[in-house]
């Protein structure tokens, strides 16, 4: 058999540039998925593989291609310009080492459902007040019911509390009795502290101040027993007269302010938050008028609005009842309210979260 005509046929075929085993010329330039991911984020479009059309040189990264001359290729790659219209590919005979997919592999690189990050509000969900009162007071137009964010304060005397139930009744925050003087801890403190957090309630701890102990040792005792915890509300110093205390001595106003300052400064240095001052009308009248203008106040006022009992004093929390009733608690409970809107509550809590 004579073969002299075969070279001429091959040269003619190559000159026409249309004889590559019968395949589509564009199939040699189809983008293939890359195995590289930057910062563990999947690319939004196909990225060329390290080798194109059988060459051994690595592909130029996208940033370098973007700086190349502007003369466009006949069909731009997906990551460098406009994506071409979808093309249908027919099954063809292929040379070994050049598989061509039936469809362009774009969908495989895009997650079916992008992850959505939900950031909860710092103050948590606010539940509406559903407390009852064994001795209700008519506060008129200045009723605490008109304020949005209610809460409670508790000690051993409330017994075993169902904190999850209490929260749904309107306990959006809780101040929990921790310590007295320099050597006493409320036996329910650790349990209440843990369970209130588990229920999603914002909580802070309070210390009942004794005037017969030094301020420094009382601060040390509180710090020893109350954890420094991100997200906790500021610590509270409870200053009032207590006829049931073994400490019957009443110190001068000057001594009261001095002791309080020492105690609060030590707590502020340790917890990184300025303590809240809790007090009652008679103690405030004798000792605290005009004092500590830069500290937040939590005021007891169960017969009238705080503006009538504590004139000219700004306040953050108002204890408006000592005879509250609620599902989740067998005994009577103190009821309180935050002085602000729901949005202001979230902002205030967020400022204490760091």
**Alpha-carbon distance 349 to 338, whole Å?**
11
Is 258 part of the annotated catalytic residue set? no
Query: Under a CB-based contact definition with an 8 Å cutoff, are residues 312 and 332 in contact?
Result: no
Backbone dihedral angles phi then psi of residue 325, each to the nearest 5 degrees: -125, 135
Interhelix angle for 215-225 vs 253-271, to 10°? 30
For the chain, what is the HEC assignment?
CCCCCHHHHHHHHHHCCCCCCCCCHHHHHCCCCCCCCECCECCCCCCCCCCCCCCCCCCCCHHHHHCCCCCCCCCCCCCCCCCCCCCCCCCCCCCCCCCCCCCCCCHHHCCCCCCCCCCCCCCCCCCCCCCEECCCCCCHHHCHHHCCCEEEEECHHHCCCCHHHHHHCCCCEEEEEEEECCCEECCCHHHHHHHHHHCCCEEEEEEECCCCCCHHHHHHHHHHHCCCCCCCCCCEEEECCCCCCCCCCCCCHHHHHHHHHHHHHHHHHHHCCCCEEEECHHHHHHHHCCCCCCCCEEEECCCCCHHHHCCCCCCCEEEEEEEEECCCCCCCEEEEEECCCHHHHHHHHHHCCC
**Which of these is catalytic: 36, 113, 240, 268?**
240
Distance of CA 342 to the CA centre of its chain: 16
Residue 132 CA to residue 117 CA, distance in Å, equals 39
Give the closest residue to 334 by CA, choosing from 219, 93, 171, 181.
171
Phi, psi of 157 (to 5 degrees): -70, -15
Q: Would you name the residues annotated as active-site residues?
A: 240
């Amino acid at each position: 058999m004579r073969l002299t005509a075969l070279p001429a046929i091959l040269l003619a075929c190559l000159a026409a540039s249309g004889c590559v085993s019968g395949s589509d010329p564009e199939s040699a330039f189809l983008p293939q998925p890359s195995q590289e991911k930057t910062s563990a984020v999947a690319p939004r479009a196909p990225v060329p593989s390290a080798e194109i059309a059988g060459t051994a040189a690595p592909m130029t990264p996208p940033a370098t291609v973007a700086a190349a001359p502007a003369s466009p290729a006949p069909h731009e790659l997906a990551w460098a310009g406009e994506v071409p219209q979808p093309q249908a590919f027919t099954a063809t005979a292929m040379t070994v080492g050049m598989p061509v997919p039936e469809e362009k592999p774009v969908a495989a690189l895009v997650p079916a459902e992008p992850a959505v990050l939900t950031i909860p509000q710092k103050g948590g969900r606010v539940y509406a007040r559903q407390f009852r009162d064994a001795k209700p007071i008519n506060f008129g137009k200045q009723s605490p019911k008109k304020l949005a964010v209610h809460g409670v304060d508790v000690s051993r005397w409330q017994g075993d509390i169902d904190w999850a139930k209490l929260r749904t009744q309107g306990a959006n925050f809780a101040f929990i009795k921790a310590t007295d003087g320099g050597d006493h801890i409320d036996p329910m403190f650790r349990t209440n502290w843990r369970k209130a957090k588990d229920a999603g309630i914002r909580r802070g701890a309070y210390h009942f101040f004794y005037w017969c102990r030094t301020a420094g040792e009382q601060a040390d005792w509180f710090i020893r027993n109350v954890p420094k915890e991100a997200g906790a509300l500021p610590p509270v110093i409870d200053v009032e007269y207590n006829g049931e205390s073994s400490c019957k001595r009443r110190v001068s106003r000057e001594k009261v302010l001095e002791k309080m300052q020492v105690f609060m400064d030590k707590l502020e240095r340790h917890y990184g938050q300025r303590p809240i001052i809790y007090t009652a009308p008679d103690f405030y009248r004798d000792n605290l008028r005009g004092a500590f203008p830069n500290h937040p106040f939590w005021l007891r006022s169960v017969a009238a609005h705080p503006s009538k009992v504590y004139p000219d004093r700004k306040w953050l929390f108002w204890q408006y009842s000592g005879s509250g009733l609620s599902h989740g608690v067998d005994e009577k409970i103190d009821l309180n309210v935050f002085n602000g809107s729901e949005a202001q509550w979230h902002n205030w809590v967020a400022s204490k979260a760091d």
